[in-house]
Chains A and B, each alone.
Chain A
Amino acid sequence: MRRVSMVRSLAVISTVALVVAACGGGSGAAAQETGPVTLQVMNFANYMPDDIAERFKAATGHTIELTLTSSNEDAIAKLDGSPAGTYDIAFITNPFAEGLNKAGKLEALDHAKIPNLSNLYPEATQIATDPGNKFSVPYSWGTTGICYRSDLVKETEIDSWKDLLEPSAELSGKITMMDEARWLMIPALKVLGYSANSTDAAQLEEAAGLLIKAKKTLLGYDAETFYTKLDSGEAVAVHGWDGWCNYATDPNVKWALPSEGSDLFVDAMVIPKGSPRLDAAHAFINFILQPENGQWVAENILYKVPNKAAMDALDPALLVKYPNMAISPADLLKQESLRDLGEGQTRFTDAATKVKAAP
């Protein structure tokens, strides 16, 4: 008897949880709040100026409540896990924004309410995941490449992904590569001349083979602390984010964009579907596009920003000190934008798992 009733109460609890989860995806135009509102913003930690809320309030009267996300996956989980209308703004990387939009989870942007779009480079409106900025506005952008210690790499000229995949003796065992599936596969796919967005089983298999072979000469996988390994000299050449390469303190750390080409990533602002504060959300995007905010990102995060007015305002010395800050928007656009892989994601993840699981 007791057991039955226990099972029944569990069933009730689980059903309630399922129903709540299922209702989370409800859609339809939300009733709009008027007057000064509290805008729910989701962003990565330390990715906006600290005084942004104060200045935004002074300018518009709206308050900001910030939710921090640790990764794009975390952001998606938070969006999927809360009822529509919970968040008004999310900062997210472009292939993820593309996926959200394809799933119908983003609001279309009203350009009339974002006049500061004119501060962007023309290239920022041509990003493959969202040409014309229909649902996303670029906040920062960059690429990944090879970050290396020029004092410890003397004989090898670093200009190709092959320097990581088939390293010379002085590099062997002192290389790290990125472990997030989308970036893990890039060096091999590019060396083979394939798209970074390939979901072709044979191409992925071939790329995985190259990467498994390269494991023997690898120190490890690291997408987050590679620059500290360069500083300590444990690693001498790594695959890493351009902006993060600038975090290394050793003055001999240099940057190279491989000749085979690389990826383009864009961290963008989007409005999740069902936001009940659409006017304030647009006002926020417009506010962020003011040059001083982009300038703050460039000077403090050491990321390039697609905001021309902000980049023009930078001290030229910064671009000399961190050469990857000087990559032009045109050159950036020549790199391949990462795309949402749709159904192909499973094959892609499998190929990456094969690499990671290999002895």
Chain B
Amino acid sequence: MDRTEPSADGGARRGLAHWRGSRLTLAPAFVWWAVFLVTPIVLILVSSFFRRGPFGGVVYELTLANFVRAFDPLYLGVLWYSVQIAFITTVICFLIGFPAAYFIATRPNPRVRAALLVLVVLPFLTNFLIRTYAWIVLLNREGVVNQSLRGMGLIDAPLSLLYNDFAVVMGLVYGYLPLMILPLYAALERLHPEIREAALDLGARPLRILRTVTLPLVLPGIVAGCVFVFVPSLGNFPVPQLLGGGRRIMVGNLINQQFLEGRDWPFGSALALMLMSVLMILLVVQSRVLRHSREIQLDA
């Protein structure tokens, strides 16, 4: 891998970066970002300070009522439940994703690695909703899993696998596992096997190598993977609806419900801002961890 070596044309590239015109290359991304990310957020921010009209819509009358209402225990409870579900999802994704990424990254044959990665990404080729519906077919009381288990004589009565927290966490883990594996793989693959071999030569046992060498070095990948899984899990709304049977709502459902059924855009906006600030805190934590670990690596 030449990635770690200083590139021969490094100087020339730096020169290009100083060329003013190169900023133009950012223009398409900037326009995209401004129109489809910043504008909606500004609209949400603005409407969260106004009032719902009697027939929905926004009445332009300044108020903080939406934020006061967002801190009602009812809504905080929904947020807390969502955080719990997203946290459990992230932990499970890590426990499954780390060994998987480790296995893929340590295959000596690059073709095998590429093939395994394709398998990880393959589910993304199908729509998320359709894949989620497929779980209903698998898990329902008369579904494939229950029928096979009964056929094998392992259970007498069908298991309740759907319409509970288990089903929600399972659906989220299934949906977002690739987002954990990919950054972990990227971090692990960059790790030179020589470092681990050196630790082995110095007498460290495998578990100790994992704990004191591998994990600290791939920490940025771990944090990235956890954020990539936690963030969409927290805001997900089809999974609790379909696999959870709507028995509990997550904050995504709550916002969805305010915008659509309640036609309360201002309050929905306030809730969306609350969710965004939770996520923002996470991103700040992530960047802190990254900076910290980069400092460690530079020291070493």
A and B interact physically: yes
Residues on A close to B: CB < 8 A? 9-10, 13-14, 17-18, 21, 71, 73-74, 76, 80, 99-100, 102-103, 176, 179-182, 215, 218-222, 229, 232-234, 340, 342-343, 345-346, 349-350, 352-354, 356-357, 359
Sample of 11 more A-B contacts, CB < 8 Å, known A21-B43, A80-B57 = A9-B34, A14-B43, A76-B263, A99-B56, A103-B55, A180-B261, A220-B245, A221-B245, A346-B267, A353-B75, A357-B248
Chain A residues contacting B38 (CB-CB under 8 Å) are 10, 13-14
Is the CB–CB distance between B253 and A232 below 8 Å? no
Across the two chains, which residue of chain A brings its CB closest to B45?
A: A14
A18 and B247 alpha carbons, distance in the complex (Å): 37
Chain B residues with CB under 8 Å of A176's CB are: 245
CB neighbours of A340 from chain B (8 A): 55
- The size class of the interface chain B forms with chain A is 35 or more
Q: Are A179 and B246 in contact (CB under 8 A)?
A: yes
The reply to whether A234 and B249 contact each other, CB–CB distance below 8 Å, is no
Q: Say yes or no: A73 contacts B263, CB within 8 Å.
A: yes
A215: B residues at CB distance < 8 A: 247
Check if A222 sits within 8 Å of B249, measured CB to CB. Answer: no
Contact B54 A342 (CB under 8 A): yes
B53 at the interface (CB under 8 A from A): yes
Chain B 240-262 against A: per-residue CB contact (8 Å), 1 yes, 0 no?
01001111110001100111111
Identify 12 residue pairs between A and B in the complex whose beta-carbon atoms are under 8 Å apart, listed by A's number: A10-B42, A13-B38, A76-B56, A76-B263, A103-B55, A219-B245, A220-B162, A222-B245, A345-B52, A349-B262, A352-B257, A357-B249
Instruction: Determine the chain A residues whose CB is within 8 A of the CB of B247 once the complex forms.
Output: 215, 218, 220-221
Q: Assess the B142–A232 pair: CB atoms within 8 A.
A: yes
Name the one of A18, A74, A346 contacting B52, with C-beta atoms under 8 angstroms: A346
Question: What residues of chain A lie closer than 8 Å to B140, measured between beta carbons?
Answer: 229, 232, 234
Alpha-carbon gap, A354 to B141, bound state (A):
28
Give Cα A220–Cα B248 distance, bound, in whole angstroms: 9
A73 to B56, CA, bound (A): 10
How far is B244's CA from A24's CA once the two chains are assembled, in angstroms? Answer: 39
Contact A14 B245 (CB under 8 A): no
Per the bound structure, the CA–CA distance linking A9 and B145 in Å amounts to 55
Interface string of B69-98 (1 = CB under 8 A from A): 000001101100100000000000000000
Q: For B39, what are the chain A residues with a Cβ–Cβ distance below 8 Å?
A: 10, 13-14, 17
Q: Select the residue from B140, B244, B259 with max chain A CB neighbours within 10 A.
A: B140
For the complex, give the distance between the alpha carbons of A10 and B38 in Å.
Answer: 7
Q: Render B31-48 as a binary contact track against A, CB cut-off 8 A, 1 for contact.
A: 000110011001100100
Residues of chain B contacted by A343 (CB below 8 angstroms): 54
| A342 touching B248, Cβ below 8 Å | no
- Tell me the nearest residue of chain A to B53, going by C-beta: A103
**Shortest beta-carbon distance from A340 to chain B in Å:** 7
Residues B81 and A181 in contact, CB atoms below 8 Å apart:
no
Report the minimum CB–CB distance from A137 to chain B (whole Å). 21
- Partner of B43 from the list A17, A219, A233, A359 (CB cut-off 8 Å) is A17
Interface string of B125-140 (1 = CB under 8 A from A): 0000000000000001
Known: A14-B43, A234-B140. A222 touches B56 (CB 8 A): no
User: Inside 8 A of B42's CB, which chain A residues have their CB?
Assistant: 10, 14, 17
Given A342-B54, A342-B55, residue A10 in contact with residue B34 (CB < 8 A): yes
Q: How far is the CA of A359 from the CA of B262 in the complex (A)?
A: 22
Interface contact A99-B55, CB-CB below 8 Å: yes
CB neighbours (8 Å) of A17 from chain B are: 39, 42-43
CB contact between A349 and one of B34, B141, B245, B264 (< 8 Å): that residue? B264
Q: Of B52, B162, B254, B260, which is within 8 A of A71 by CB?
A: B260
B163 within 8 A of A: yes
Which parts of B206-242 form the interface with A (CB within 8 Å)? 241
| Known contacts A14-B42, A215-B247, A232-B141; A349/B257 CB under 8 A | yes
Q: Which residue of B lies closest to A218 (CB)?
A: B247
